[in-house]
Amino acid sequence: MKKGLLIVNTGDGKGKSTAAFGMVFRAWGRNFRICVIQFIKAETGQWGEIKAAKKLGIEWHTTGDGFTWTSKNMDETIARAKHGWELAKEKIASNQYDLIVLDEFTYTMVYNWLDTDDVLEWIRLNRPSDLHLVITGRSAPEALIQAADLVTEMTPIKHPYEQGIVAQAGVEF
Amino acid sequence: MKKGLLIVNTGDGKGKSTAAFGMVFRAWGRNFRICVIQFIKAETGQWGEIKAAKKLGIEWHTTGDGFTWTSKNMDETIARAKHGWELAKEKIASNQYDLIVLDEFTYTMVYNWLDTDDVLEWIRLNRPSDLHLVITGRSAPEALIQAADLVTEMTPIKHPYEQGIVAQAGVEF
């Protein structure tokens, strides 16, 4: 039995988004049709992964404003999340992709910017059966875990911030 | 304080190698000089990540024979591990890279094909201070965790094999 997988990378550790980008790298190697939608990162960010995607012509959308639950303008943050989800629905339903990544998408559900049950029901009804859909972010809701085929929890064992080392370009962003 | 990090992705879950390849993707976006050495995978494998690396001109070595602790010719398997480590030492000491990945390298220590203390002492003495070195694989030895700056454990929460779904090209390999 082969089929598209609903994949969730969650947990408090590093590597949730990074593993999704590793899947993008691998899938690009196989000439898969790929779309990445990022839900928190601002459009203006100069992230290594965005530079790479641009160079490779991989479709990549940043729909956030860089703020989240600490936003000073929560209406804007929520509106951006809803817009990102509309974009995601359009891409998923188009049946034009082999791999779609919804990066940091769990937060839209965790903070109730979107209704988890509505999102999961829509995915259940509309995801093409051969589409791999990857969702990343901390605190994946239990209903999402139930709906997923593959769930990995990234657990921090040791983190350089604890030692006073700052985030490193090319490694963490 | 900025410096090259010794990064370990371990645990029984998915995403250890994939997150390392995500770092490769991100680092490639920043024009980092990258070298990947895989310790278990056979040279003949047509993996998505190898196809991607070839297309991008990323230096990528597969030093294994596809066998590990189940090898029918353990001398060959051990010799390949030692050869891979010699290659890794050459690349690390060259100071010509920003990011080096030793994929599935923990197994060489777990199975005592290499001496863990010797490996860690060599890395401590010879790793250029700005080189990011990523080591992946299950069961990272405690001494490696102690030596590392950043350690993440990938924990399987749900796996499609349990549901009778086979591994998917472009997602898992």
Domain segments of chain B as ranges: 6-163
Q: Do A113 and A65 form a contact (C-beta atoms < 8 A)?
A: no
In this predicted structure, which of A43-57, A58-72, B15-29 has the lowest mean pLDDT? A58-72
Q: How confident is the model at residue A44 (pLDDT cuts 50, 70, 90)?
A: low
Q: Can you identify the CATH homologous superfamily of domain B6-163? A: P-loop containing nucleotide triphosphate hydrolases (3.40.50.300)
Nearest neighbour of A170 by CB, restricted to B9, B32, B158 = B32
How is residue B53 written in tokens?
């690396």
Mean pLDDT of B38-50: 81
Q: Which of B14, B168, B53, B167 shows the shortest CA–CA distance to A25?
A: B53
Q: How confident is the model at residue A159, as a pLDDT?
A: 78
The percent of residues above 90 in pLDDT, for chain A, comes to 75
pLDDT score recorded for residue A40: 85
The whole-angstrom separation of Cα A88 and Cα A102 is: 8
Indicate the pairing of strand A132-136 with strand A99-103.
Answer: parallel
Interface test mutation site (partner B, options A56, A171, A172, A173, max chain B beta carbons within 10 A)? A171
pLDDT of residue B77: 86
pLDDT band at B130 (very low <50, low <70, confident <90, very high): very high
Q: Please report where in the chains the tokens 């997150």 appear, as a residue.
A: B19
Residues of B in contact with A54 (CB under 8 A): 29
Radius of gyration (Cα) for chain A, nearest Å? 16
Compute the nearest-CA separation of A91 from chain B (Å): 19
**Starting from the edge strand earliest in sequence, which strands make up the sheet with B34-42, in order?**
A59-64, A34-42, A99-103, A132-136, A6-10, A150-158, B150-158, B6-10, B132-136, B99-103, B34-42, B59-64
Which of B158, B21, B172, B12 minimizes the C-alpha distance to A140?
A: B158
Q: Does the pLDDT value for residue A58 go beyond 90?
A: yes
Interface of B with A in 93-152 (CB under 8 A): 98-99, 132, 145, 148-152
The DSSP letter of residue A172 is T
pLDDT the model gives residue B65: 74
Mean pLDDT of B43-69: 85
Calpha distance B102→B115 (Å, rounded): 16
- Predicted local confidence at residue A41, as pLDDT: 77
Q: Tell me, what's the pLDDT at A158?
A: 84
Mind listing the pLDDT tens digit for each residue in B131-152? 999 999 999 999 999 999 999 9
Nearest to B102 by CA among B128, B59, B136: B136
Average pLDDT over residues B92-117: 96
Q: How far is A74 from chain B (nearest CA, A)?
A: 30
Give contacts of A21 with chain B, Cβ < 8 Å: 21-22, 25-26
